[in-house]
Amino acid sequence: MSTRDPLVALPTHDVANVARPLEDYDMFASDAALREATAREGGSWVMERAAALGRVLGTAEVLGLGTAANRFGPELRSFDRFGRRIDEVDFHPSYHRLMQLAIEAGIPSVAWSDPRPGGHVAHAALTYLFTQAEAGVLCPMAMTYAAVPALRAQPDVAAEWVPRITAAKYDPRCVPASEKAGVTFGMAMTEKQGGSDVRANTTRARALGKPGPGEAYALTGHKWFCSAPMSDAFLTLAQTERGLTCFLVPRFRPDGTRNNFFIQRLKDKLGNKSNASSEIEYADTWAQMIGEEGRGVSTIIEMVHHTRIGAAVGPAGMMRHALANAINHCDSRAAFGKRLIDQPLMRVVLADLAIEVEAATTLVMRVARAFDESTQSGEARAFARLATAATKYWVNKRAPGVVVEALECHGGAGYVEESPMPRLYREAPLNGIWEGSGNVICLDVLRTLHREPQSLEAVMAEVRGAVGEHKRLGEHVRQLEQMLSAGELEARARELVQGLAVALQAALLVRHAPPAIADAFCRTRLVGEPPAVYGKLPMDVDVGAIIERARVPLA
């Protein structure tokens, strides 16, 4: 038997030429496009709050919370240890810390709690930042934010619940809402047989006494997707004798006992792992009618409309995070004798991605301003109605491609789970499905054009105001007008919605972005198909200026 000491920790190689992790940086200060858009669109008063949040979210600690919340996902507890049905969801402590950060930052409440103009711009800016730390917690944030306008259809119910939403306090306990300083909301609309066709819903509602708005009902049925089942209350749809109607379902009845809210299982999803999505059953479940009986879609559409802006802002934030990671990697790693960021072909790819990200950021923040102006202006309401849907569609079509290209910039290092890129890759398709997949959104746009022609006038007025700034924009507008006048739009609805969204992006960029970005966007995204593959910019584009604007400075 050998008496030699065992070999312990002998080095096999030196670790050199590896990229630093993107952490301990200021998300807001390093994002010129977001900073400028926030101030320009009416959110200058939230800049200090956004700056403070950006510094916190960029820390290694908080980015690590996002990693942990996805690694240790939610778990369903149907029963307590005595066999009593409780239907609760357990989360890792990292999830609760992220929820606390988001709520205390005011993500679900700032648009409603601060009387100054720009509340929805503030909400969008904070959401955009938080997405980069962890997107999963933003599902309950979006629904809690969006519940307010739907609840206001029933003022007596709103008076009870809205102050709890705007309190900006996180209390994860499963107890009656009356015992909590703050609450969160979920939504339960879709069913197995209908999906997006909610008019096919079969859940039934029967009055427990006097029927009508604000009164108590018992619901029986199933919901195929119930988002954030740990929430304190849910807006849902059920059939009455007069048709589909909106209801509020709390987790606890008014007498303090648990409501019949049965979580059948949690969904095992492609991504969004930190967030619990579920299938639930109602069985004589206590509920209150919200809004007019038989007008459930009209009532809950306000919630859907407001969640759609979140479903556009979130992907824009993901795109920014993917780009920041790609530039960071290329800035601190060398190959073939140069840093990656100095390689001509890589520079073109990074610049092209930066153009796409700035276009998305600029668009979502402009649409957020329309939400703020909608309370005072019919034109702004019309603009928001159409532009929100078009923005939600197009930003979500672009996000997965941006994330994939940014992942490829990392090489193999981007494909391993220690990297943030695989989580971004799995998350990128989510919002394109949530609150209406691409075809649903396009058909909604066609309905809006038919029912509210002033919405098209409002969007085109915004675009035409910038036509003189770039030749390609004028050509693009003429093509759009020809398509609209030709009729028979359903089969071409995707082409139309894409054309509207890209026209808005171009109009905003030529007004507000650096000339290098605006010109490159118009030359590569208008009058034809935007690039399916990034990195094919014209030779005279100032890629250096574009990359420098998007980069996160090295410490």
Predicted pLDDT of residue 197 = 83
**Closest-CA residue to 488 (of 441, 442, 446, 455):** 446
Distance CA 410, CA 415 (A): 8
Predicted pLDDT of residue 3 = 53
489-495: Cβ within 8 A, 24+ apart: 489/446, 489/449, 490/443, 490/446, 493/439, 493/442, 493/443, 493/445, 493/446, 494/438, 494/439, 494/442
Whole-angstrom distance between the N-terminal and C-terminal Cα of the chain? 52
The answer to whether the CB of 141 falls within 8 A of the CB of 102 is yes
**DSSP label at residue 40:** I
Distance CA 328, CA 333 (A): 9
The answer to whether the CB of 532 falls within 8 A of the CB of 398 is no
* Residue 212, phi-psi category: left (phi > 0), alpha (psi -120 to 50), beta (remainder): left
Predicted pLDDT of residue 341 = 96
Tokens standing for 244? Answer: 């589909």
Divide the 555 residues of the chain into consecutive groups of 10 and give the mean pLDDT of each group: 57 83 96 98 97 98 98 97 96 98 98 93 98 97 97 97 97 97 95 84 95 98 94 97 97 98 96 96 98 94 93 98 98 93 97 98 98 94 97 98 98 95 98 92 96 96 95 95 90 96 98 98 90 92 97 80
429: phi then psi, degrees, rounded to nearest 5: -80, -10
Domain regions of the chain by residue span: 32-165, 177-297, 299-550
Predicted pLDDT of residue 488 = 84
Q: The domain 299-550 belongs to what CATH superfamily?
A: Butyryl-CoA Dehydrogenase, subunit A, domain 3 (1.20.140.10)
Question: How many residues belong to the chain?
Answer: 555
The answer to whether the CB of 554 falls within 8 A of the CB of 331 is yes
Predicted pLDDT of residue 528 = 79
Q: Per residue in 370-423, pLDDT tens?
A: 999 998 999 999 999 999 999 999 999 999 999 999 999 999 999 999 999 999
Task: Tell me which amino acid residue 330 is.
Answer: C
CA angle at residue 57 from 134 to 434, to 5 degrees? 25
Distance CA 363, CA 351 (A): 18
Q: Per residue in 48-93, pLDDT tens?
A: 999 999 999 999 999 999 999 999 999 999 999 999 999 999 999 9
Distance CA 318, CA 427 (A): 8
**CATH of range 177-297; options 1.10.1200.10, 1.10.3720.10, 3.30.2350.10, 2.40.110.20:** 2.40.110.20
Predicted pLDDT of residue 352 = 98
The answer to whether the CB of 29 falls within 8 A of the CB of 54 is yes
The answer to whether the CB of 382 falls within 8 A of the CB of 445 is no
Hey, how many other C-beta atoms are within 10 angstroms of the C-beta on 430?
A: 23
3-state secondary structure of 11: coil
Predicted pLDDT of residue 514 = 98
Beta strands in 275-367 (DSSP E): 277-290, 334-335, 338-339
> Strands 216-227, 277-290: parallel, antiparallel or unpaired by DSSP?
antiparallel
Tokens standing for 31? Answer: 């994002």
Q: CA distances (Å), 463 to each of 69, 104, 397, 492, 511, in order?
A: 42, 37, 21, 21, 11
